[in-house]
Chain A
Amino acid sequence: MENSVIVIGGGIAGITAAATMSGNGLKVTLIERNNKLGGHVSEWSRLFPDRRKASEVIDYLEAGLGETKIISGCSVNGIINHDNSFTVLTDTAGSITAEALLIATGFDLFRAAIKEEYGYGIYNNVITSAEFEEMLDSRAGVLTANGRVPKRIGVIHCVGSRDEKVGNLYCSKVCCVTGVKQAIELKEMYPDSEVYCFYMDLRMFDRHFEELYYEAQQKWGVSFIRGRLSECAENADGSIVVKTEDTLTGKPLKMSVDLLILLVGIVPSPGTGRIAGMLGLKTGEDGFINSVDAHTMDNSSGIPGVFLAGALKGPASVNSVIADARAAAVQAMAWLSTNKTVNA
């Protein structure tokens, strides 16, 4: 057999799982659609809650890859399940065989242009959280569309999440803390600016998150307004007019901001849908993959030999994805070493 395991997807879940398994002596091939590894995290600047650099995490994980065979710039066209092994058909690397598969196809970000009333793609000063991260790492830094330092920045929560009107009823979990983080980053960059976060609820679910929120309010003076953006418009100078209701005072609220950041939610990646179709993986109504048991067998797909790791199962933070990928790797290794009896 060519490989013990083929890992499909080279984001942090795929890299972690591949590194864990090849570090334990298995023959692993990692297939990634893009030309470089690292997925979305490699395009991020800093990670919550401590705002450490994302590249450090990527470097750490990649260092562990060892003997893993990496095939990048390669898409999967089909998968054949021979019951005892799998053949993965690719577009640029021919067909590859393995005894087991680990699917780590990850997520995509919600396409903000769908929420037309928020002006993404129409007004120049509306950007997504991902674009903001790119700006943070760029040489020019964070500036408005005509190159000025923004005096007032708005951060909009729940874009594409918790929204029947775009077909995503679920909460994307990680955007709230991302918004708070980015608000702090803005204030750190431009201490004289005003930063407003427009939220429905603040989901500070993990350790240090609530403290981050506290810090944002107390140390950095970020303003938080409980109200969901209904629509925005544009002033002559390109600044964005935000229209919400300040629900806590019960009055409609309108303000101009120089830059508007949309915290876009997490949606299943197209690759997830395609691979699920090839293998017959079960998806939920929200489009993410269902594991066999969300508590006790969260890395099993229900198909013997096919294991699941990462955000393809639903929105997740970086630390939980790394833990999950290691768990998936261990489950796969246990399956292989017990002659495919355990963890089917």
Chain B
Amino acid sequence: MIKFNLFVLPFSLGLIYIIASIFRHYYRWIKTLPAVDKIKLSAGMRSPSKVMDSLKEIILESLIHRKLWKKNPLLGYMHMSFALGWFLLIVVGNLESRIYHGSHFNAPYYPIFLKFFIHDRLVLFFEVFSVPAFFRFIMDFLLLFVLSGLILAIIKRRRSKWFGLNRTTGHNLFDRMVLTCLWLIFPMRLLAESLTAGYFGGGGGFLTQNLGTLLVNILPFPAENTAYFFWWSYSVVLGLFFVMMPNSRYMHIPSELLLIVFRHCGIQPKKWDSSYTALETYSCSRCGVCLDACQLNFAAGIQKIQAVYFIRDQRDQFVPEDITLTCMVCGRCQEICPVGIHVDSVRLIKRRELSSGQVSDFSFISNRHPGYAEVVYFAGCMSHLTPSVPRAMEGILKKAGVDYLFLDRNGSICCGRPLMLAGKDKQANELLEFNKNLIRQTRARLLVTSCPICYKVFREEYNLPIRIQHHSQFLLDLVKNGKIALQSQHRKIVYHDPCDLGRGGNIYSAPRELLGKISDIVGCEHENGDALCCGGSLGLFRTSLSKRDEITKNALSSLLARHPDLLVTACPLCKKTFLRHSPVPVMDLAEMIYDSIPGNHGKQLKPAPLRQDPVSVMS
């Protein structure tokens, strides 16, 4: 006997639609993978460890939402209750229905609407540990679990601060409609199951049975009809949700699963819009956690451009230019995203599209032979505006007796990363080739730079066969190898993690270890991966100087909250940016180290020779 009622149709049709849609998307994402990634995928799916890793992450992140728990327990619980609760309702419900239905043919709607088709008598006291009673208890418990999350979700729209969020995502009309459907699903289920249990005097658990009995007593309408109305409502709301889901944020549910698998198989985002990036845009649940991380938001009051809105627009295939170009590419949103979306990569992909038709002409750069050395030092463009940094480096290099060459002492062309931040990767290639050639000609074994922006591009784009170090790592090595000795300075310093060195280069401990040898480092609220951007970002285009100043001042007040005597950073652009507003002296790492070499304190650095003849007005 097949259990069927007309009301299951909306749900069933919706279910068919959403499953077809998910398959269509999965097919497209997998089919449009480049060949090399397809190989990675199939290899990964055949590797037990990769499959286990994927499953583990799916359970920990997609169901339990561990990263969100870490951000705020209430927030984590809320997301977990929906995800895990609904998942378990489906799984346990399926288990329960198989036991009852007794055959292997199980219509998909059957477990969902089980309580309509099956009515148990009331469980007697001594039957409390029987299987039916167990299931009734579990299902009611899970329903309560989900409903508790629903209540929290409703509260969150009003009191987001309780959930650790100053701002929540401003959803568009469609998302709000789907949200309403989702929120109605479980109350409808509760009412439908309760009324049925109440009417039949049995079949419900501790929640539904008692609620049902109460409702049946106080309702002025016939209970069976009312129950039937709510079964219809339940099905309709579910069907609507499924039908609207492909265009809504809830597509993140199936997308995220595939994304986790892709990631564990080693598939990476590309520099252009690819299947992986498309999948990432669908995986964004619009949870809004990135909003609070964005300094343009909380320090400068710029609100329409954050990661969640950008990814949403990217998914809808229309991103306004302002949004693409108003981002510091500092990585804070990417760092905190619970799904691990590479927001910065997507931002740069869009910028490449914007710049693709534009042409550069760097034919004016001509080769020169730089000379030979063991170590080549590249200071970077910005260092010419903070000359104390290269001069300190040279002082240290000389003291340590290093055979070095200061590659851009008389100025040189840019490393190329600022061009890439504008999306002009193709155009930057000429600069890269020139610089690579220059570096190769020195036959050096080590490239040291005092600028994190240069460091990042050297490491990631240059493909040089030589070792590359940021000056913090290099100086630490010098100290550890006994090439220079340091004297303690007894100052209270705070260290600022530059974006491209910390989040961008994964170097957090070397500068601290180095500074720790000469001074007390007093911490600050936002450090390491959570460090604030100074505001000087070369990734930010469409924002005025006064707004940038707000960001700088805000970052400074956080850095200086514990009243250090000195602010130390490891990036010339950060130094220049902070100097404008800092009430406390700002120094680069290199300057501090030079100052700490015994005998150097307060000493004037000797002048560095220039190779060019001083030319007068005629060019």
| A residues at B contact (CB < 8 Å) | 114, 116-117, 119, 122-124, 164-167, 231, 233-239, 241, 246, 249, 251-256
Rounded to whole angstroms, the CA-CA distance of A165 and B387 in the bound complex is: 17
Judged by DSSP, the binding face of B is loop
Chain A residue contacts of B619, Cβ below 8 A: 251-252
* Cβ-neighbour of A122 out of B388, B580, B614, B617 (below 8 A): B388
* Cβ-neighbour of A167 out of B387, B391, B580, B605 (below 8 A): B580
Question: Is B359 part of the binding interface, using a Cβ–Cβ cutoff of 8 Å?
Answer: no
Residues of chain B from 327 to 360 with CB closer than 8 A to chain A in the complex: none
Contact flags B588-607 to A (C-beta < 8 A → 1, else 0): 00000000000000001101
B618: nearest chain-A partner, CB-CB? A251
Contact indicator B617/A236 (Cβ below 8 Å)? no
Contact indicator B610/A254 (Cβ below 8 Å)? no
Contact indicator A122/B387 (Cβ below 8 Å)? yes
Chain B residue contacts of A233, Cβ below 8 A: 384, 387, 610
Chain A residue contacts of B608, Cβ below 8 A: 234, 236
Chain A residue contacts of B604, Cβ below 8 A: 124
* Cβ-neighbour of B616 out of A231, A249, A255 (below 8 A): A255
Contact indicator A116/B388 (Cβ below 8 Å)? yes
Contact indicator A165/B391 (Cβ below 8 Å)? no
Within the complex, the shortest CB–CB distance from B443 to chain A, in Å, comes to 26
Contact indicator B614/A231 (Cβ below 8 Å)? no
Contact indicator A167/B581 (Cβ below 8 Å)? yes
Question: Is B609 part of the binding interface, using a Cβ–Cβ cutoff of 8 Å?
Answer: yes
Q: How many of chain B's residues have a CB under 8 angstroms from any CB in A?
A: 22
Within the complex, the shortest CB–CB distance from B146 to chain A, in Å, comes to 55
A241 in contact with B607 given A251-B619, A253-B617 (CB within 8 Å) = no
Chain B residue contacts of A122, Cβ below 8 A: 387-388, 391, 605
Within the complex, the shortest CB–CB distance from B410 to chain A, in Å, comes to 8
Residues of chain B from 526 to 584 with CB closer than 8 A to chain A in the complex: 545, 576, 579-581
Rounded to whole angstroms, the CA-CA distance of A114 and B576 in the bound complex is: 9
Among the interface residues B545, B615, B616, B617, which one has the most CB atoms of the partner chain A within 10 A?
Answer: B617
Chain A residue contacts of B386, Cβ below 8 A: 116-117
A-B contact count (CB 8 A): 61
Within the complex, the shortest CB–CB distance from A326 to chain B, in Å, comes to 37
Chain B residue contacts of A249, Cβ below 8 A: 617
29 A-B pairs with CB atoms under 8 Å apart are: A114-B579, A116-B385, A116-B386, A116-B576, A117-B384, A117-B387, A122-B388, A122-B391, A124-B604, A124-B607, A165-B580, A166-B580, A231-B384, A233-B384, A233-B387, A234-B608, A234-B610, A235-B609, A235-B610, A235-B614, A238-B607, A241-B610, A249-B617, A251-B617, A252-B619, A253-B617, A254-B615, A255-B615, A255-B617
Rounded to whole angstroms, the CA-CA distance of A255 and B618 in the bound complex is: 10
Rounded to whole angstroms, the CA-CA distance of A336 and B96 in the bound complex is: 97
Within the complex, the shortest CB–CB distance from A160 to chain B, in Å, comes to 12
Within the complex, the shortest CB–CB distance from A76 to chain B, in Å, comes to 22
Within the complex, the shortest CB–CB distance from B2 to chain A, in Å, comes to 78
Rounded to whole angstroms, the CA-CA distance of A186 and B309 in the bound complex is: 62
Chain A residue contacts of B579, Cβ below 8 A: 114, 116
Rounded to whole angstroms, the CA-CA distance of A187 and B384 in the bound complex is: 32
* Cβ-neighbour of B385 out of A124, A231, A234 (below 8 A): A231
Within the complex, the shortest CB–CB distance from B617 to chain A, in Å, comes to 6
Chain A residue contacts of B384, Cβ below 8 A: 117, 231, 233
Chain B residue contacts of A167, Cβ below 8 A: 580-581
Contact indicator B581/A235 (Cβ below 8 Å)? no
Chain A residue contacts of B580, Cβ below 8 A: 165-167
Contact indicator A164/B581 (Cβ below 8 Å)? no
List 4 additional contacts besides A122-B387, A234-B608, A249-B617; criterion CB under 8 Å: A123-B607, A233-B387, A253-B617, A255-B617
Rounded to whole angstroms, the CA-CA distance of A239 and B609 in the bound complex is: 10
Rounded to whole angstroms, the CA-CA distance of A14 and B409 in the bound complex is: 50
Contact indicator B615/A236 (Cβ below 8 Å)? no
A163: nearest chain-B partner, CB-CB? B580
